[in-house]
């Protein structure tokens, strides 16, 4: 559903052991009564957790993902995080998850304060919005990829960032 949020944790890209219940820890049962155990891997992994992690990392580090990273930045830290742009991108979360979404001074009832704090602890917070305009797309790598820069260091250019001002960057 729209309130169901999934996170791809770093272990999916680095730790095949996280996908296997090798110690037989009781993880509970499904609604149909079946015991939970190892993670059920998609067919493209051929049932191999090491292959799963390798393919996930290859995908994450691919030129396609790198070239389209601007879209992710727009959703998580940028202009599509809040407001009409977020709604249009189906990127809206519970108001309590946003920075400034809770006025703690107005929550006088201790039970309500604890309930709000528990919700934030359990469901997390949306990161601080850093950008108000569309993030620029990265130029594709030159023919030969990243190694090209090592073979032609004269093409490297220094780049400095201006100091961060308070509030979102525009």
Whole-number pLDDT of residue 52? 96
- Compute the average pLDDT of residues 110-121: 91
Specify whether 83 is located in the same domain as 133: yes
Q: Is residue 27 part of a domain?
A: yes
Specify whether 44 is located in the same domain as 77: no
Q: How confident is the model at residue 165 (pLDDT cuts 50, 70, 90)?
A: low
Q: Is residue 5 part of a domain?
A: yes
Q: Is residue 42 part of a domain?
A: yes
Say how far apart CA 151 and CA 142 lie, in whole Å: 12
- Compute the average pLDDT of residues 72-86: 95
Q: How many domains does the chain have?
A: 2
Task: Give the CA angle between residues 67, 72, 74 to the nearest 5°.
Answer: 110
Q: How confident is the model at residue 91 (pLDDT cuts 50, 70, 90)?
A: very high
> Looking up tokens 């996280």, which residue turns up?
18
Specify whether 81 is located in the same domain as 128: yes
Q: Is residue 3 part of a domain?
A: yes
Is the model's pTM score more than 0.85? no
Say how far apart CA 155 and CA 148 lie, in whole Å: 9
Whether the CB-CB separation of 128 and 167 falls below 8 Å is answered with no
Q: How confident is the model at residue 122 (pLDDT cuts 50, 70, 90)?
A: confident
Residues spanned by the domain of 25: 1-61
């Amino acid at each position: 559903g729209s309130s169901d949020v999934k996170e791809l944790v770093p272990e999916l890209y680095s730790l095949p052991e996280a996908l296997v219940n090798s110690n037989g820890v009781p993880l509970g049962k499904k609604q149909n009564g079946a015991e939970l155990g190892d993670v059920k891997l998609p067919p493209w992994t051929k049932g191999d957790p090491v292959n799963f992690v390798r393919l996930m990392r290859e995908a994450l580090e691919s030129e396609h993902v790198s070239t389209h990273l601007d879209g992710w930045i727009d959703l998580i830290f940028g202009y599509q995080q809040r407001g009409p742009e977020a709604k249009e991108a189906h990127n809206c979360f519970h108001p309590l998850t946003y920075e400034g979404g809770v006025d703690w001074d107005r929550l006088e009832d201790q039970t309500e304060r604890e309930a709000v704090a528990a919700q934030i602890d359990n469901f997390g917070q949306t990161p601080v919005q850093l950008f108000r305009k569309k993030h620029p797309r990265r130029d594709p790598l030159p023919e030969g990829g990243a190694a090209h820069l090592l073979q032609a260091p004269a093409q490297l250019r220094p780049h400095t960032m201006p100091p961060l001002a308070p509030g979102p960057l525009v």
